[in-house]
Structure 1
Amino acid sequence: MIEASIKAVPGLIVTFLILAALVAVPTALIAKARNKPWRLRTALTAYLVGIVTVTLLPGDAGLESGQCDTGMPAHLFTSTSSLLNIALFAPGAFLTVLQFKRPATVAVAFGCLSGAVELIQSFVNLGRSCSVTDLAANTTGAALGSLAGALWLHQRRQSLRKPVRDLLWGTSLALVGTVALGGVFHSRVDSVDIVAIDDQRKNFAESAIQADEWINTAAKGIYGSDTQVRETTTEKRGKRLKITAETNRGSIAGWWPEKDLESAWSSNTRGDEGSFSKKQVATAADKFARMWFPRNVAGSKQQIRSVGDGPTHAYVVAYRRYTDGVLLPMRLDLTVTTTGRVIGFTARAVDDPALPSVTVDEAKARDLAEQATGLPTDSTLLLAQQIKGEWRPVWLVGSGKRDVAIDAATGELIPGSD
């Protein structure tokens, strides 16, 4: 990328002056000795040296060897980098057309030169990045420079040199260059879409900010308006973000962008010495659940059980949803004290899956489990499980120290369960 060279301007200028002196001076001397116009030849030679210097001067960035950025940004021809690349190649093509009077061949030749430069950048560890965007900008600059050169000659009534042959040469060179460079790039260079990667990073950063704001609001809603968030951590899981916040009142975690709370636990998990009855605790839990988990509560059954002993005992209030006797994957468990304070919860928000009809009843499931293990059964549970990516009704049958899983729609033993 040309920007990498601009950052190293002092070294670039020194390198260019040395190389230009080594190449341009002999060019001028030879032209004079042969009684040929030397100014244009010398300027063209110096400019070609400049292109090589700018594009191949070692830098301090770049992709790994054998990689090329194939991302095409929306601002391809308006970004600073692209405009600089266009400006780099246009004058060289312009001068070359003035010298050889073959605009089509010159435009294609400079395009091939750009392709060769990008290929070198991809293979040689120069601290430079091969980029399709640079190739497109360089080729555009070459085309504009060649067009400008042709117009310049036309205005001065100077004829192009064999225009038909020039067009044929340009077309042939374009085909050969495209096949040759394209073949090498395709077979030896790995594509890396930096634009997509940058967009993903930008989207992740924006989503992380929004998720942080949401979890902060949720923390204050759960623990109180004076809650202070001390730290948040964000972890990318596929297309979702799991965000966890640590506060002066406790922890809280959830999923973005669904805005699904997953868990929260107060730093004070000791039960309160309250006077709420079991029914009052259930009412307090239901109010909390309907406020924060309306999707989980809808159509669910509430179950409540006591945990702990003495005056500080608490209750676990569970919400489960069933369809045709099958326990669905949604989960919500609240731990509530006898003052009605929710000291923690765990939740799993999953849309109710479509399940095939259950054809295996409990008695049949027990028989199948006993046949598979040779042991008597002691418990059963019918629930929805994902089997190879598909939701199925499954009997979990306890048989001794093992659980046997049986497809409740087909009666087949699920591999790995016995």
Structure 2
Amino acid sequence: MIEASYSAVPALLLVFAVLGSALALGTARWARRRGMAVPTAVLWGLSLAGELAVTLTPTVTGYSGPPSCTIGPGMWADATAQQGLMNIALYLPPAIFGVLLFRRPVTVLAGCAVLSAVTEVVQTLLGTGRACDGADFVDNAAGALLGTLLAAGWLLVRRRGLPRLRRDLVHGLVLGAVGLTGAGLVVHFGIRTYRDSPGLFAPPSDDIATAQRVAEGVFGPRTLVDTTTTTADPGLTQQIMDVSTDRGDLRIEQPSGRLLAVAAATPSADAAGSPALTPEQVVAAGRAFADTWFADRIAGLTPTVTPAGPNGAARTLGYRREGTAAGQPAVRLDLTVGADGRILTAAS
């Protein structure tokens, strides 16, 4: 949900500023009329603006293929990854400030769960460039539960109490049942659903399978694809797909799977401690990668090798060819190989 970087969502701060101003002013006036705590109401409004801005602001491409959702047992593993912690943190503020403002913990928790479910459905139906993922809902619900418990505990410690708890319980159950049922019906009847349990639903579409295959080929086995964003252009015979994984990002053509660009993530502590290779071995690793993924574009070309990186231990291989009258296309490929032989970047 919030895996897209600011560079992929340039309007994020603007959208948050507009929504935040509107919701902060609106909740402040509403709280003042009802004699409620205005600062808490403003913080609650800002937290809702943050959730809406982060989850619904379109990415640069604004398209992620036909509406689809991913659910199944595998989402529990995704929910505990780093991205899951970010999604948990996203729902802490709305739950905390909501409970402190309304003193209705069950209703606030149910409202946060419904908000998360509706957000997942809306962002895939609107084609914002984000995926509808069951793991995101699990994370958001966990964050809301944690925030609710923290705020309720604070109220009890301060002896402010939780009035009309029975009514709160009834309202929360009704809100959760109606809201989640509605979102579930939309998913069931209007959105294609994938499960990682074989035999229950159709397997992932060909383009998702291609993205996974290329990601594992580039970054290694067990690479996890987080999001895919497809550029919709009817004038192209091949669509462009940007793929974000837990080990880096890549760009490919669909449906061919032809690799266009790679940007590896920051290496882990284990990778950072890997022994350095000789310059010749680094160049050999780069050439092997180029021969595997760009063979049709660099046939017959010899790369220009230049030192790269802060200490000059990495190497950049540049393949160049001007377009010829005989019909040979121009070639421009640059790839950078780290001192440990890991491909850091590649762009053609």
With the shorter chain as reference, the TM-score category is 0.5 to 0.7
Secondary structure of the 1:192 match is strand
Partner of 1:138: 140
Secondary structure of the 2:131 match is coil
Partner of 1:167: 169
Secondary structure of the 1:86 match is helix
Alignment pair present for 1:20 and 2:20 = yes
Answer whether contact 1:70 1:192 (CA < 8 A) is retained. Answer: yes
Task: Map Cα deviations across residues 3-27 of structure 1 (whole Å, 9 max, x no partner).
Answer: 1254446531222112212231243
Report the AA paired with residue 83 of structure 2.
S
Report the AA paired with residue 133 of structure 2.
S
Report the AA paired with residue 14 of structure 2.
V
Alignment pair present for 1:152 and 2:164 = no
Q: CA deviation at 1:45?
A: 0.9
In 1, the alpha carbon distance for the partners of 2:36 and 2:108 equals 21
Gap change, CA 1:193 and 1:200, over 3 Å in 2: farther
Gap change, CA 1:154 and 1:163, over 3 Å in 2: same
Q: 1:201 aligns with which of 199, 203, 213?
A: 213
Answer whether contact 1:87 1:141 (CA < 8 A) is retained. Answer: yes
Alignment pair present for 1:65 and 2:66 = yes
Partner of 1:124: 126
CA RMSD, aligned part only? 3.1
Answer whether contact 2:75 2:134 (CA < 8 A) is retained. Answer: no
Answer whether contact 2:44 2:93 (CA < 8 A) is retained. Answer: no
Gap change, CA 1:107 and 1:204, over 3 Å in 2: same
Which is bigger in relative contact order (C-alpha 8 A, separation at least 6)? 2
Where do residues 225-374 of structure 1 align in structure 2 (5 Å cutoff)? none
Report the AA paired with residue 161 of structure 2.
S
Gap change, CA 1:6 and 1:192, over 3 Å in 2: farther
Secondary structure of the 1:191 match is strand
In 1, the alpha carbon distance for the partners of 2:173 and 2:134 equals 21
Partner of 1:180: 182
Answer whether contact 1:62 1:129 (CA < 8 A) is retained. Answer: no
Partner of 2:322: none
In 2, the alpha carbon distance for the partners of 1:110 and 1:148 equals 15
**Structure with more of its chain in strand, by fraction:** 1
Q: CA deviation at 1:47?
A: 1.2
TM-score (norm 2): 0.54
Query: What's the % identity of the aligned pairs?
Result: 35
Aligned pairs, how many? 211
Gap change, CA 1:62 and 1:151, over 3 Å in 2: farther
In 1, the alpha carbon distance for the partners of 2:86 and 2:145 equals 15
In 2, the alpha carbon distance for the partners of 1:232 and 1:92 equals 49
Partner of 1:293: none
Task: Map Cα deviations across residues 173-213 of structure 1 (whole Å, 9 max, x no partner).
Answer: 22222322211111111013589767963897468xxxxxx
Q: 1:81 aligns with which of 76, 83, 86?
A: 83
Q: CA deviation at 1:89?
A: 0.5
Bigger drift between 44-53 and 29-38 goes to: 29-38
Gaps spanning 5+ residues in structure 1: where?
208-230, 234-418
Q: CA deviation at 1:134?
A: 0.8
Q: CA deviation at 1:163?
A: 1.3
Gap change, CA 1:191 and 1:117, over 3 Å in 2: same
Task: Map Cα deviations across residues 301-331 of structure 1 (whole Å, 9 max, x no partner).
Answer: xxxxxxxxxxxxxxxxxxxxxxxxxxxxxxx
Q: CA deviation at 1:76?
A: 2.9
Report the AA paired with residue 110 of structure 2.
V
In 2, the alpha carbon distance for the partners of 1:74 and 1:33 equals 43
Q: CA deviation at 1:120?
A: 0.5
In 1, the alpha carbon distance for the partners of 2:86 and 2:129 equals 19
Q: CA deviation at 1:61?
A: 6.4
In 2, the alpha carbon distance for the partners of 1:112 and 1:133 equals 15
Gap change, CA 1:70 and 1:185, over 3 Å in 2: same
Gap change, CA 1:73 and 1:176, over 3 Å in 2: closer
Q: CA deviation at 1:66?
A: 2.2
Task: Map Cα deviations across residues 86-110 of structure 1 (whole Å, 9 max, x no partner).
Answer: 0001111111001111111111111
Q: 1:110 aligns with which of 109, 112, 117?
A: 112
Q: CA deviation at 1:28?
A: 2.4
In 1, the alpha carbon distance for the partners of 2:89 and 2:171 equals 25
